[in-house]
Copies of this chain bind each other. A is one copy, B any other.
Amino acid sequence: MADIARLAGVSVATVSRALNGSELISKETRERIAELARSLDYSINVSAKNLRLKQNHTVAVVIPYDKASRQHVSDPFFLAIVGSLADALTDRGFDMLLSRVDADNLDSAAHLYNSGMAIGVILIGQWRHHDQLNQLAARRVPIVVWGTQMPQQLYCTVGGDNVAGGQLATRHLLERGARRIVFVGDPQLPEVAHRFKGYSDALAAFGLAADPLLAVPCPFDANEARAGMTRLIESGVEFDAVFACSDVLASAVMQTLHLLGKPVPQSVSVVGYDDIEWASHSNPPLTTVRQPIRQAGVELVDALLLTVEGAAVSPRSLPVELIVRDSTLHRAP
């Protein structure tokens, strides 16, 4: 900026004002300076500006990763959320700082805020870190989490309506004549627990109860889903449908069923969750519960910005929708 001032024969103050479009500076000078800046590929130094103005237009987006399992989040659904956040933040003029953070040490998320790098944190996935998240919030880190509402939470969550999602999927299967529906997912995770509740509710509405034999507890990991389904089938338990808690799991389930000679949907119906892009191209195309990804980004960002302004933002649950495709078939009851 000093360079420009010298070249333009004015003071840095004038350059600063000109580049910020101040009306105080004559239009002529303003344009001359703008031109000069362009030809020099000059852009205002954002750090210095922020420092002086005590402002900041960066939001940290954090993807926890599990150090134990060395598992890097690669679920397309979460990556899609990242994309959606990138859009929503760009639209509102914010920059996005993306970090992977050790799930056991979410404190480093606080660092992103305390060090002034970001005005707040959006964390993708609640997992089992409810307590850690509460601690972060208690330490006044503005934080919003993609997940589900928990009792006594100090942080704001935004997430799909998991109970409704579980209900939609299960009721659909029941209406199509299924009676023994396998549940694939890890009910230790809050979101999955809610989906399980929806599953149980829908069964109850049909006068049925959730059968523990039909539970395949597994994290969001295709390999574990394959293993779990294989064990289930080998155990000889009868079932006519599967509700999987993510499309990735559903994909693994369908593959396993196919391998073990149970055609989908003729022999077993399958419903997934998320409606990632792939679900519509799978074979057969997957019936699934669509989460509103686009909206998710917008709502997460809105909630964070409100939190930053000091508002107490209440958790938000977004509507989900059943997308019926070919993986669920009508069958005689």
Contact = CB atoms under 8 A, between A and B. Distances in A.
Interface of A: 41-48, 50-51, 58, 61, 63, 72-74, 76, 79-80, 82-83, 86-87, 90, 95-100, 110-111, 114-117, 139-140, 222, 248, 251-252, 254-255, 258, 277-278, 281-283, 285
A117 B97 contact: no
Given A79-B80, A82-B79, A255-B285, A95 B90 contact: no
Given A41-B139, A254-B283, A283-B255, A98 B86 contact: yes
B51 A47 contact: yes
13 contacts: A41-B110, A43-B111, A43-B116, A45-B115, A46-B115, A47-B48, A47-B116, A48-B51, A82-B82, A96-B97, A254-B281, A255-B281, A258-B283
A12 to B, nearest CB: 16
Contacts of A285: 255
Nearest to A42: B114
Contacts of A222: 277, 281
A236 to B, nearest CB: 24
A75 to B, nearest CB: 8
B258 A281 contact: no
Contacts of A281: 222, 248, 251-252, 254-255
- How many copies of the polypeptide does the oligomer hold? 2
B116 A45 contact: yes
A83 B79 contact: yes
Nearest to A117: B46
A217 B41 CA distance: 39
B114 A43 contact: yes
B95 A96 contact: no
Nearest to A225: B281
A147 to B, nearest CB: 20
A281 B111 CA distance: 38
A3 to B, nearest CB: 13
Contacts of A116: 43, 45-48
A90 B116 CA distance: 18
Contacts of A42: 114
Nearest to A101: B90
B50 A47 contact: yes
A87 B70 CA distance: 12
A140 B222 CA distance: 45
Contact of A80 (B74, B87, B98, B282): B74
Nearest to A115: B43
A76 B47 CA distance: 33
Pairs of residues from A and B, 3 with the lowest C-beta to C-beta distance, nearest first: A43-B115, A79-B79, A43-B114
Contacts of A90: 99-100
Contacts of A41: 110, 114, 139-140
